[in-house]
Copies of this chain bind each other. A is one copy, B any other.
Amino acid sequence: MNNSAPTATPEFLAALIQIVGEQRVRSDPADCWPYGYDNSRRHALPEWVVFALTHEEVRDLVRLCNKARVPIVPRGRGTGTTGATVPISGGLVLSLERMNRIRMLDPTNRAMVVEPGVTNQEVQIAAGQQGFFWPPDPTSAAFCTLGGNLAYNSAGPRAVKYGTPRENVLALRAVTGAGEEFRCGTYTTKGVVGYDLTRLLIGSEGTLAIITEATLRLTPLPEAKRTLRAAYKDTESAGQAVADLMSQPLTPCALELMDRQAVTLVQAQGGIELPPGTGALLMIEVDGPATAMEDAVTQLKKAAHNAGLLEIVAARTPQESKQLWAARKALSPALRTLAPKKINEDVVVPVSHLPALISGLERLAKEFAITIVNFGHAGNGNLHVNLLTDPDEPTERERTKKCLEQVFKLVLSLKGSLSGEHGVGLEKRDFVAQELDPAALNLMERLKAQFDPQGILNPQKTLPLKTST
């Protein structure tokens, strides 16, 4: 991998301008500054920012960078939380936000062809007009780009029923780090000719190739949806309900959990009525044919019932549904107010280990004297673990670091994974070797070298640094 800082020669700048024109190149540090960060609070100044409009421009830019050994960091709207788009090796930030066309919408084949800069919301709106949706729905859907969704395999609440991008993409067009352009996948929902490069690129965080076009697999919009909110006396009971809900035939289209700390936090803000003694909350949604909803609600109520259930309510109108979601929606602002520099982790464990994860986290919270607030996509075992700490405070930094190490250790001991949907980037890069099989990691490094022989694509991200470099 080439980590040496490139030289910002006038020739290189001229070559960039030759590819995309002067209007779409930035080299003034003040102009480049906003393209140096993402939602991880990390920042590094790129030497150049270029806005590409076409596949051919991306190809030519990568070829130029490969020749000059200049790092190139593909970037959507910078909503990622792991530093994956922060250009820590300098070089070029390739902004794809203007490559935002919807090239084709094909309801008969349940397919949609888009450029990487289109936002998730734009995809949903266009698909929705034809009666479809694209299942991945990260919280940042209004701003985040499709390219980013694919880079991190971003999911969201609906993944419990409808899967992640890996289950909802048919084909890709991309450019490798050596500037090779290729298409992979099929325009069909089945296909077994050649190796599956499509899924290999999804989740690779721009380290293998830059995606310039994606064929999305669409799902018809369900006719109806119902929302339930279940209050439990403790996390164990809620965790048991999650397990029971996931082993009966009716898979919810959302199954979200808030732990005791999260419940306490939103109740302290007022305006949310919950039964006294509520120690955990589940939000359950089900979708399907309108005529099936009444029975579905009955069935889910039954599955959610156990000795620890305090109350379960089902919304009858969209307005009531909104009221039920109020507790969950109030949580993130409350957390940000309380601890603006909080650390939001994104771990995942098998559903049956959720109670063990949460009780383990409660133990760590006490041990390290850090308030930990947990909520997330319980149906996938995907928990957002929020450490209410200020990592910029010298007194808290070391403690937070040690606590996080223990969180990761706990997750791995429960057969979990360090990231469910946020990805690795820089934040978890130095931990992934604890999770990945050493031989698999070695294979990944060798595959990376085939896609990006000079290591110019998003250097120093996603895979651990090699000790030799």
User: In the complex the two chains form, is A381's CB within 8 Å of B189's CB?
Assistant: yes
Q: Does A72 contact B (CB under 8 A)?
A: no
Q: Does A311 contact B (CB under 8 A)?
A: no
Give Cα A107–Cα B192 distance, bound, in whole angstroms: 29
User: In the complex the two chains form, is A190's CB within 8 Å of B450's CB?
Assistant: no
Question: Hey, what's the 0/1 contact readout for A129-153 against B, CB within 8 Å counting as 1?
Answer: 0010000000000000000000011
User: In the complex the two chains form, is A194's CB within 8 Å of B152's CB?
Assistant: no
User: In the complex the two chains form, is B107's CB within 8 Å of A423's CB?
Assistant: no
Q: Which of A12-20, A261-269, A289-297, A384-392 has 4 or more CB atoms under 8 Å from chain B?
A: A289-297
Q: Does A463 contact B (CB under 8 A)?
A: yes
User: In the complex the two chains form, is A191's CB within 8 Å of B221's CB?
Assistant: no
Give Cα A415–Cα B113 distance, bound, in whole angstroms: 14
In the complex, how many angstroms separate the beta carbon of A64 from the nearest chain B beta carbon? 18
Give Cα A463–Cα B192 distance, bound, in whole angstroms: 12
Give Cα A81–Cα B436 distance, bound, in whole angstroms: 35
User: In the complex the two chains form, is B182's CB within 8 Å of A439's CB?
Assistant: yes
The one of B107, B193, B448 in contact with A435, judged by C-beta atoms closer than 8 angstroms, is B193
User: In the complex the two chains form, is A193's CB within 8 Å of B443's CB?
Assistant: no
Question: Hey, what's the 0/1 contact readout for A225-265 against B, CB within 8 Å counting as 1?
Answer: 00000000000000000010011111100000000000000
Question: Hey, what's the 0/1 contact readout for A432-469 against B, CB within 8 Å counting as 1?
Answer: 10011101111110111011000000000011000000
Query: Count of chain A residues with Cβ under 8 Å from any Cβ of B?
Result: 95
Q: Does A167 contact B (CB under 8 A)?
A: yes
The one of B109, B183, B222, B417 in contact with A186, judged by C-beta atoms closer than 8 angstroms, is B417
User: In the complex the two chains form, is B191's CB within 8 Å of A417's CB?
Assistant: yes
User: In the complex the two chains form, is A450's CB within 8 Å of B439's CB?
Assistant: no
Q: List 21 A-B contacts (CB under 8 A).
A: A108-B243, A109-B246, A109-B352, A110-B246, A164-B190, A181-B439, A182-B437, A190-B348, A190-B381, A191-B417, A192-B203, A192-B423, A193-B432, A194-B432, A195-B444, A196-B196, A220-B247, A221-B249, A289-B292, A291-B295, A447-B450
Nearest 3 CB-CB pairings of A with B: A292-B292, A199-B199, A182-B439
